[in-house]
Amino acid sequence: YNFANYALAYSAFEDEKYSKAANYFEKFLNGNDKDQKTINDAIIRLADSYFVSKSYGNALANYNKIIANGSTGEDYALFQRGMIQGLENQNDAKIATMQDLLKKFPNSNYADDAGFETAYTYFNKGDFDISKSDLITLVSKYPNSSYVPRALVTIGLVQYNQDKDDEALESFKKVIREYASTEEAKQALESIKNIYVDRGDSEGFITYANSTPLGNYSAAEQDNITFQGANNRYLKGDFKGAFEAVNAYFDKFPKAIHDKEAKFVRAESLVKLDRPTEAVADYEYILNDWTSDYTERSLVSISKLFLDQKKYNEAIVYLKRLETTADYKVHYSFALNNLLRAYDALNMPDDMVKYVKLIKESEKGSEEEKNSADLYAGKAYLLKADTAMAVKAFNNVVSKTKTVAAAEAKYNLAVVQYAKRDYKTSTKTCFDLINNMPSYDYWVAKSFILLSDNYVALKDNLQAKSTLLSIIDNYEGKDDIVPTAKEKLQNIK
């Protein structure tokens, strides 16, 4: 009668009804009519039922019974104990168990399994040298094992992680040469692709892949691989290589899948190569499509390009388009702030006042941007000859921020005071900037030059000359400061 439980247990086990199988195996083991051989088998299958059901504690308890009794199947039970330890992240315990199996049962059917699991656990722990050594031993000792392709792939991954790309390529290619029909061969080909693409040699990979039984890539797949190689060069900062790779991409695929993304990469690379004028055509191509993922980024880039070239009217065209279409807060703020700077450079006070107002009212702008905006309001009011409003705006900046905008605002206050012939107050304001904002070299130097003008106005030419000579001797910037100081020095009698 009890053997019926054993038969029902096996039937359920083979039907993959593991909970039901475990129940019948437990009934059998608790019954009276049984022999030792069948008991050992039932314990192992009970453990397996719990293992597949992920009841690892119960599984381990039963595998341990086999190990403790030295019963038939001890090597299998040891292997399963190691696998459970691995699943429970007890990696050192897993390694110890697998090594115990190999020591006790060197000729076991599970020896190659244990050897691979030991090496792979070292790999997952980051102990690459031990892992590689163990895998090489495995391949040598068990050349006919089904684990050999997996071992070779793992050796390749170790070499790749150790930046030994040429050695890794050879390991991966060996898998494809000798085990082309395996899943590992597909994995190896993917790893080979990653190495070639990382090097920016997509064409080299496609040539290699086409020489293997696995590399029958469609035109679309080849397009993707070729673009990925070009993009990787750009992401690594190889802008010359990226530029050349994108050109080669378009030569091979005139109707490229990634045409806008590739043109963006080429344009950005040209800017990095100090060839911005050549980049304009690619940006404009992208901007002909309002729906591209690269439209907004291209608007930012082409605006920066023209701003850097001081082509403010051209920049304004793209900045205004960005202002009305930006999806990202940072890009909208970029548009407003740079429109303000462009109109400032063009001395257009009404537009400056308009954008100061927009920046202050914007929910997307930072507090610092809003506090600094009054600098441009002050400069706009000076252009409109409204000195009172200008002074109010400059004072507002100085009171709210300590950035470079405050230094420029403070300098402008000193200029207004000088223009009103209030030389002593202007001198005091210059010293206030020099002493309290020393990190803003340019505006400190400008203040020293204005200080010399105040000294001249106060009939102290000696002090004026001394101040200018100090600037000429000590200022290191490559801008208008030293030439201005030299010119003013020549004009003092």
DSSP conformation letters of 151-167: HHHHHHHHHHHTT-HHH
In sign, the C-alpha dihedral spanning 89, 91, 92, 98 is positive
What integer pLDDT is reported at residue 369 of this predicted model? 87
**Helix, strand and coil in the chain, % to nearest 5:** 80, 0, 20
> Nearest Cα to 334, choosing from 315, 309, 313?
315
What integer pLDDT is reported at residue 31 of this predicted model? 83
Residue 94 has pLDDT above 90, yes or no: yes
Residue 339 has pLDDT above 90, yes or no: yes
Residue 154 has pLDDT above 90, yes or no: yes
Distance, CA of 306 to CA of 326 (rounded, Å): 19
Distance, CA of 267 to CA of 212 (rounded, Å): 36
What integer pLDDT is reported at residue 493 of this predicted model? 77
Mean pLDDT of 172-192: 93
Q: Write out pLDDT tens, residues 457-488.
A: 999 999 999 999 999 999 999 999 999 999 99
Residue 364 has pLDDT above 80, yes or no: no
Q: How many CB atoms lie within 10 A of CB 37?
A: 10
Distance, CA of 353 to CA of 380 (rounded, Å): 7
Residue 367 pLDDT grade (very low, low, confident, very high; cuts 50, 70, 90)? confident
Residue 372 has pLDDT above 80, yes or no: yes
Distance, CA of 420 to CA of 415 (rounded, Å): 9
Q: Write out pLDDT tens, residues 272-284.
A: 999 999 999 999 9
Q: Write out pLDDT tens, residues 20-45.
A: 999 999 999 988 777 888 899 999 99
Residue 365 has pLDDT above 80, yes or no: no
Ranges 4-13, 210-219, 339-348, most confident: 339-348
Residue 328 has pLDDT above 80, yes or no: yes
What integer pLDDT is reported at residue 286 of this predicted model? 95
Q: How many CB atoms lie within 10 A of CB 293?
A: 11
Q: Write out pLDDT tens, residues 295-327.
A: 999 999 999 999 999 999 999 999 999 999 998
Residue 162 has pLDDT above 80, yes or no: yes
What integer pLDDT is reported at residue 454 of this predicted model? 97
What integer pLDDT is reported at residue 282 of this predicted model? 97
Tokens (6 digits) for 475: 């200022």
What integer pLDDT is reported at residue 472 of this predicted model? 95
Distance, CA of 336 to CA of 342 (rounded, Å): 10
What integer pLDDT is reported at residue 362 of this predicted model? 85
Q: Write out pLDDT tens, residues 399-428.
A: 998 899 999 999 999 999 999 999 999 999
Mean pLDDT of 94-108: 95
What integer pLDDT is reported at residue 357 of this predicted model? 94
% of the chain surpassing 70 pLDDT = 99
What integer pLDDT is reported at residue 291 of this predicted model? 76
Mean pLDDT of 119-133: 93
Q: DSSP H helical segments within 273-311, as ranges?
A: 276-287, 295-308
Q: How many CB atoms lie within 10 A of CB 208?
A: 18
**Largest distance between two CA atoms of the chain:** 126
Phi-psi region of 421 (alpha: psi -120 to 50; beta: other; left: phi over 0): left
What integer pLDDT is reported at residue 306 of this predicted model? 98
Tokens (6 digits) for 335: 């548009």
Cα–Cα distances in Å, from 323 out to 154, 280, 318, 337? 52, 20, 9, 10
Q: Write out pLDDT tens, residues 221-246.
A: 999 999 999 999 999 999 999 999 99
pTM beyond 0.75, yes or no: no
Q: How many CB atoms lie within 10 A of CB 125?
A: 13
Q: Write out pLDDT tens, residues 436-446.
A: 999 999 999 99
